[in-house]
Structure 1
Amino acid sequence: MMKAALLSIALALAVAAPAAAVERELPPMTEAQAAGIERVTTPFFSSLKDKAYAKAYADLFAGTLFASKTVEVQQLVSQTTFILETYGVIERWEVFESECASPELCRVKIAAYTANGPVFVWLSLYRWNGAWKPNYILIGDTPQFVY
């Protein structure tokens, strides 16, 4: 009976542990992290604002493994072109949420405002050799992950 109770407690803890890990709150970017990430995002959004979509992604992924994935990069360029030709030119952008799993790994959520509404960008970056590099990007007009 005692063994069964201990096993039940152990199983309950084992089942609860992954749920607790998912629900943990990660700290937002520090000012230093934000400044480093801004050196990546400002040129990216400036190129998008100028409708230089291919350049935006070429510069964003420069020096990363993703730069060699031409099909995937072209899909991002096509998707971004379609979204921004639909919504209009980006007028301004802002990070509205950030979280860092470690000092070298952060995720930012960015709203890019156009005349016809916001476009959302989810960007994960890691710091390597003193520079921030992207390792994941998602761009779209659906705010389902915003709230």
Structure 2
Amino acid sequence: MLNIQEISDRLEIQELLVAYATAVDGKDFDALDQIFTEDAHIDYTAFGAIAGTLAEMKKYLTSSMAQLTACQHLMANTEIRLDGDRATGRVMAWNALGFPTEDGEPHIALLGMWYIDEYTRTPAGWRISRRGQERNWTKGFGDVIGNGR
């Protein structure tokens, strides 16, 4: 049975995951400063992106997502394992991305993945201290991110 602190910790981490999706989908990359620790390591190489620091990832996302007409994360099946002021997680994500076309109707491409996370409790609350991706499937990318169908 979960105690009140464990329930609170799980809810705070789940809210952090929602805040991440909201920030990225809204292209509000400065909001990521309230989601990741300052020294976070972020690895999105599973889909051909970069790995690096929060500052490097914010710069990369600003540039790479500028072309998108839409982005929508659906986060589900969150597995959170608490260990005091640290936690780990595996979060299923379904990500739809809209690319511009000549006729104005966006081309939609899809990603299926899991985020593999480490979380740290800070004085300002829970933050993601490490994030990676585990690739499952893609649809509609062609050769854009390799082996997509």
TM interval, shorter chain, is 0.5 to 0.7
- Supply the distance in 2 between the matched residues of 1:141 and 1:58 (Cα, whole angstroms): 23
1:66 aligns with 2:39: yes
- Supply the distance in 2 between the matched residues of 1:79 and 1:118 (Cα, whole angstroms): 21
Which residue is 1:14 aligned to?
A: none
Please tell me whether the aligned partners of residues 90 and 116 of structure 2 are also in contact (alpha carbons under 8 angstroms).
Answer: yes
- Supply the distance in 2 between the matched residues of 1:93 and 1:36 (Cα, whole angstroms): 15
Counterpart of 1:60, as a letter, is I
The answer for unaligned runs of 5 or more in structure 2 is 41-51, 97-109, 137-149
Please tell me whether the aligned partners of residues 90 and 112 of structure 1 are also in contact (alpha carbons under 8 angstroms).
Answer: no
1:134 aligns with 2:110: no
Instruction: Give the number of the structure whose alpha-carbon radius of gyration is greater.
Output: 1
RMSD across aligned positions (CA)? 3.5
Poorly superposed stretches of 4+, deviation over 6 Å:
none
Please tell me whether the aligned partners of residues 126 and 134 of structure 1 are also in contact (alpha carbons under 8 angstroms).
Answer: yes
1:32 aligns with 2:8: yes
Identity of aligned residues (%): 11
Q: Structure 2-normalised TM-score?
A: 0.53
Question: Relative contact order: is structure 1 or structure 2 higher (C-alpha 8 Å, sep ≥ 6)?
Answer: 2
Which residue is 1:93 aligned to?
A: 75
1:111 aligns with 2:92: yes
Distance 1:89 1:126, change over 3 A: same
Please tell me whether the aligned partners of residues 91 and 113 of structure 1 are also in contact (alpha carbons under 8 angstroms).
Answer: yes
The answer for unaligned runs of 5 or more in structure 1 is 1-28
Q: Structure 1-normalised TM-score?
A: 0.54
Which structure has greater helix proportion? Answer: 1
Distance 1:75 1:120, change over 3 A: farther
Tell me, what secondary structure is at the counterpart of 1:48? Answer: helix
Distance 1:107 1:80, change over 3 A: farther
Which residue is 1:75 aligned to?
A: 56
Which residue is 1:57 aligned to?
A: 32
Tell me, what secondary structure is at the counterpart of 1:51? Answer: coil
- Supply the distance in 2 between the matched residues of 1:108 and 1:34 (Cα, whole angstroms): 10
Q: CA deviation at 1:44?
A: 1.5
